[in-house]
Amino acid sequence: MMSVVGGSQMEVLYQVAVSPFCKAFCGLAFCYGSYYLFNRYLGKSSLPPGPRGLPWIGYTPCLGTAALDELASLHKQYGDVVSFKALGNTIVVLNSYQAIQEAAVLNRHKVGRCTLTVNHWLAKGHGISNYDTPRALNLRRALFRHLYGQEEVIDYLTDKNTGCELTRTIKQEIGHLLKTLEETQGTPVLVAPLMRLTAWRIMWRLVFGSTCNMDAEEIIYILQQISSNNMENGVLRISQQLPKCLLHVVDCVKSIQRLLGMDKLAARYDSVCRILNRELDRSDQSAYRPGSLLHRFQKDEKLQVEKEELGRLTFELMAAGTDTSSMTLTWACAYMAENPSHFQEVVGDIQMNNIHRYASVVPLGLPHVARESMTILGYYVPAGATILFNLQAVHEAQMDDREGSATTAIPFSIGSRDCPGSRFANKLLKDIVSAISDRFSVETTDNNIRNQRNADNPDRKSRVSKGLTRGPADGLYIFKVKSD
């Protein structure tokens, strides 16, 4: 009797063992075990240290709105070079000036621009900032050539008093800003819109070569759309890490766009592009002004820029040149209010470096990709890995003097893919901050800045952005005219 029962049980076990379900389960278990062993003893052993996550999905705490907080925790736990997986991608985060310099300078030819999925979905292959293609690199070189080869820009950067239109516009817009602040007569004022208008009108002169005739309300609307996208569309959003081969599915299934928040990003982007394309058409009908960036790009026979590509370039120039600059100027007001003793003399590199460290407007910079495998601080970084420069960590270390006084702030990143407009932006920001500091003492209202930044304050989230950029909390500032 026992042998019969035992035989039945064995047969049942055999049937279960040969069932499709059991085979599939064993196959999955084998694959997971192989994946784990490979990463544990072969793959992960040479990569920088970091947290482990689920197979393919990776380390999910970094994929969300608290990404910067999580990266700060990983920095403390694992050190200056950290790696983890996210949706099949290898992410390497560099948290020190030395690590970033080794990647961006010593390995400059091995580091390129990483193409983010959502940005590619919006840009449709055009532009400079999101691509590492030969076309993008040619456009980048052309931007350097046309921007810094422009006579008006050379005159402005070298302080030649030639009375050129660009310099005249910059002085005029700074003067208008000072007058507006003076007219507040010491009452609290929201500075972000004023900084946006100033930066936009200056960039318009540079890009279009003419005076911007758009209404202030429309300019503010455009820049609010750009700022909202930049502050939401972070590098470590799930949507940015999705394989690009899935974008045709995203295009067809609107519910996926809504679920990932891509529909709102697209709506804002399209609204800005419609307005800029309208202005491009108007400028094209009257011919682009000689000397403007648009004119120089259009007349570049080697490039042969098409209309759609010119539209994307216009967006990148106006968006990048205005949003980050106006944010930096808003942060500058916060810094001046907190540190009035630093602005009793002429504004120089020391004050500007401190403002950039304090602000860290683009905390992770734009993401890079390893074109080839390389070694950074002794750690292996494989080809194809996404490399993030944690500029905020560097700036915080500099403020605490952990990096030493020898290293400068790097708000525009460094290396072969640093911000091409950094020279122009640096001088413009310094001129505006100097003008404000010379004319006014800046004060804050109660509870305005106090809760925005304190290195010892555990509630740092009030200053942390979930996107590409991080702006200060909307604040009111008081501008009191200095006595002569």
Split at pLDDT 50, 70, 90, the class of 32 is low
Is the predicted pLDDT of residue 122 greater than 70, yes or no?
yes
Task: Please identify which residue in the block is written with the tokens 């604040």.
Answer: 475
Share of the chain above pLDDT 70, in %: 84
Taking the model in full, what pTM does it have?
0.86
Note the helical H segments in 233-261.
238-241, 247-252, 254-260
**pLDDT at position 447, please?**
53
Closest to 71 measured CA to CA, from 377, 473, 367, 335: 367
| Cα separations in angstroms, 373 against 48, 100, 365, 370, 386 | 13, 16, 21, 6, 11
Number of domains in the chain: 1
Residue 459 confidence (pLDDT): 42
Does 114 show up as a binding residue in the annotation? no
The answer to whether residue 277 is domain-embedded is: yes
Query: Does residue 11 lie in a domain region?
Result: no
Identify whether 13 is part of a domain: no
Q: What is the pLDDT of residues 315-354, one digit of tens each?
A: 999 998 899 999 999 999 999 999 999 998 899 999 999 9
In a domain, 462, yes or no: yes
Q: Which two tokens stand for residue 415?
A: 């290396």
- Is 163 within the bounds of a domain? yes
Domain contains 368:
yes
Kindly state the tokens that stand for 14. 């055999």
| Mean predicted lDDT score pLDDT of the chain | 87
pLDDT in tens, 371-392: 999 999 999 999 999 999 999 9
**Dihedral class, residue 80 (left if φ above 0, else alpha if ψ from -120 to 50, else beta):** alpha
State pLDDT tens for residues 17-26: 556 655 566 6
6 within some domain: no
Given this model, what pLDDT does residue 467 score?
Answer: 84
What pLDDT does 443 receive? 93
pLDDT given for residue 20 in this prediction? 64
| CATH code, domain carrying 333 | 1.10.630.10
Q: Is residue 38 part of a domain?
A: no
Mean pLDDT over 156-176 rounds to 93
Is the predicted pLDDT of residue 37 greater than 70, yes or no?
no
Please state at what angle helix 307-338 crosses helix 216-232, rounded to 10 degrees: 90
C-alpha span between 232 and 426 (Å, rounded): 25
pLDDT of 314 higher than 70: yes
CA dihedral over 234, 237, 243, 248, signed as positive or negative: negative
Write out the residue range of the structural domain in which residue 229 sits.
Answer: 57-481
Band (pLDDT 50/70/90 cuts) for residue 400 is confident
Q: Which of the two residues, 108 and 26, has the higher pLDDT score?
A: 108
Give tens-digit pLDDT for 426-448.
999 999 999 999 999 999 886 55
Is the Cβ–Cβ distance between 293 and 320 less than 8 Å? no
